Each structure stands twice: as C-alpha cells, then as structure tokens.
C-alpha cells in the first residue's frame, strides 16, 4: 500500500498509550493493563487500514515506570522509534487530561528530547486522554481542561 502512516506512542506508565493505539486502529490490538504496573513491557506493533491508509502503530513501555530499571525502559523506548522504518511520521506523547501534569512527566519529555534530539519536536503530537471524565458534552470537557 503506497499510503502509509507510521505512529509511535510514548508517555508515562498508565497514561493510556495502549488504549489510544486501539482507538486509532479501530480494534483491540494492544492489551490494556489496569492498575499501577505497566502493561506494556516490550514494544508492540500493529497496523490496520483506515480510510485507505495503512496505519502502523508502535506501542511502547511507559516512561517513569518505578517498577523497572530506567535504562531498560529507555532502551526499549529507543527501540520503538528505531525499528519504525524509515522512521515515524508522528510521535504521539500521551497524557492524562484528568490528572495534573507533573514534574515527572516534564522530565519524561526532557528525556525523550535528550534520547532522540531536538528534532523529535517536529514530529510530536500531544494527546490528552480522559477528558470524558469531566463532563458529558464537549463544552463541559473543554471548560474543565
């Protein structure tokens, strides 16, 4: 398929990366963990045709995972970007809209810039999930955020 879009999901443990990937793909491609521990230990890949475009999504382990060695997590996150050949079109940084933006999340962003270079910002899209917790209508959610 000539039209392809390669996306990598990055973010803190529990931010909703796997759920976001499933939503993008329109199917349950990634296992979604509930609780404090990361559900994604290793990079996972899945794809689907969406609107005539082959969407390839890479799910990565969570940054700031206190239950794993940070070097191991960074190695796996680095691999998630490196194996997307010839590189991702977009890096989706997933954050919870229903939680405060923490210093830990800011540090995760800084770590990504250090790991991949300043150019990662050219491909980064910030995704906020969980806004539906703030209300039933888009307007209620928008005001709350």
Residue 36: phi, psi to the nearest 5?
A: -85, -25
What CA–CA distance (Å, rounded) separates 11 from 110? 12
User: What is the predicted pLDDT for the residue at 67?
Assistant: 65
Does residue 90 have a pLDDT over 80? yes
What predicted TM-score, i.e. pTM, was given to this entire model? 0.81
pLDDT in tens, 25-79: 999 999 887 655 556 667 889 999 999 999 999 998 877 655 667 777 777 777 7
Identify the band that residue 99 occupies on the pLDDT scale cut at 50, 70 and 90. confident
What CA–CA distance (Å, rounded) separates 144 from 98? 9
């Amino acid at each position: 398929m000539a039209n392809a879009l390669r996306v990598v999901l990055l973010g803190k443990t529990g931010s909703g990366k796997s759920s976001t990937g499933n939503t993008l793909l329109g199917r349950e491609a990634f296992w979604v963990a509930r609780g404090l521990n990361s559900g994604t230990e290793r990079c996972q890949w899945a794809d689907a045709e969406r609107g005539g475009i082959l969407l390839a999504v890479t799910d990565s382990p969570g940054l700031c995972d206190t239950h794993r060695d940070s070097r191991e997590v960074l190695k796996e996150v680095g691999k998630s970007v490196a194996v997307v050949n010839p590189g991702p079109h977009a890096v989706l940084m997933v954050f919870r809209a229903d939680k405060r933006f923490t210093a830990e999340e800011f540090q995760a962003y800084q770590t990504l810039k250090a790991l991949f270079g300043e150019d990662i910002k050219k491909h980064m899209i910030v995704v906020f999930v969980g806004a539906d917790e703030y209300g039933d209508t888009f307007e209620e959610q928008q005001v709350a955020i």
